[in-house]
Amino acid sequence: MFVTFPEPVIPERIRLGKPLVVAVDGPSGSGKSSVSKAVARRLGLAFLDTGAMYRAVTWHCLNGRINLENAAAVEAAARTLDIEQNLTPDGEFVRVNGINVTEAIRRPEISQAVSAVATNLGARRELVRRQQEIIDKCHSRIVVEGRDITTVVAPLAEARLILTASEDARMRRRGLQLGSTQTRAQLHEQVVGRDAKDATVVDFQRAADGVYTVDSSDLDFAETVDAVVNVVRLSVNEGPAA
């Protein structure tokens, strides 16, 4: 469902300190991470980038020469790895077994390899378990973004939405984000190609029942943040969309 929005107002439930999980899914380059961070900042909520966890496991496997095609070894890595990450929208960091990998996990070679971890069902089970534990630790006052948050990690979240944008907009944004270093073919592979692989295990393109859709193709960043804050407001004031 698509919604149009009045000026956003901070929901009363946030002022009252009640649980508020905001679940955000969507394809690569749709703005999940940057928009979710801004929403968490605006609403005073914690923030979890679940994609960073898949990237952290991928970094560890590549760094430790663990064959990404060896499903059992990748699952074992996901189970044993110590992953630390900031749970606030500011000052991003990710550490794997104490090593700072904040920058390294964003490199194109990780983006190219990460689907091997994302499509490993054992690794997914373990990362979903960890994500649910983090939500509990944050007293369920958190914005969580990824691919399966609205459906698997937090299907009972107070606000659930898919953030999407056209392929063109997503490739353009990712290109700018990477400092215009990538060709159009490389961007196509990293954005559209990777989504196609990941979509074999999770459906993040279609909104499940009760999940809003925000299409940011024709919205600028600030308008997109406003739109998401309004979905949160509509969700908590009026319950999930029919």
Ligand X SMILES: Nc1ccn([C@H]2C[C@H](O)[C@@H](COP(=O)(O)OP(=O)(O)O)O2)c(=O)n1
Binding residues for ATP: 26-34
Task: Rank residues 28 and 150 by Cβ distance to ligand ADP and give the closer one.
Answer: 28
Give the integer Cα–Cα distance in Å for 164 and 47. Answer: 19
Binding mask 28-57 for ligand X (x = CB under 6 A): x---xx----------------xx--xx--
- 19-to-13, 46, 87, 143, 187 alpha-carbon distances in Å: 8, 11, 16, 11, 38
Query: Whose CA is closest to 31, among 183, 187, 206, 220?
Result: 220
Count CB neighbours of 53 within 10 A.
Answer: 26
Contact 241, 19 (CB under 8 A): no
Rg (CA), the chain: 17
Instruction: Report in angstroms how near the CB of residue 193 gets to ligand ADP at its nearest.
Output: 14
Q: Which of 216, 228, 229, 233 is in the footprint of ligand ADP by CB under 6 A?
A: 216
Q: List, as residue ranges, the binding site.
A: 26-34
Calpha distance 235→216 (Å, rounded): 19
What part of residues 149-178 is at the interface with ligand ADP (CB under 6 A)? 173-174, 177
28 or 131: whose CB is closer to ligand ADP? Answer: 28
What is the x/- site pattern for ligand ADP, positions 18-47, by CB under 6 A?
--------x-xxxxxxxx------------
What minimum distance in Å lies between the beta carbon of 57 and ligand X?
9
Residue 148 binding ligand X, by CB under 6 A: yes
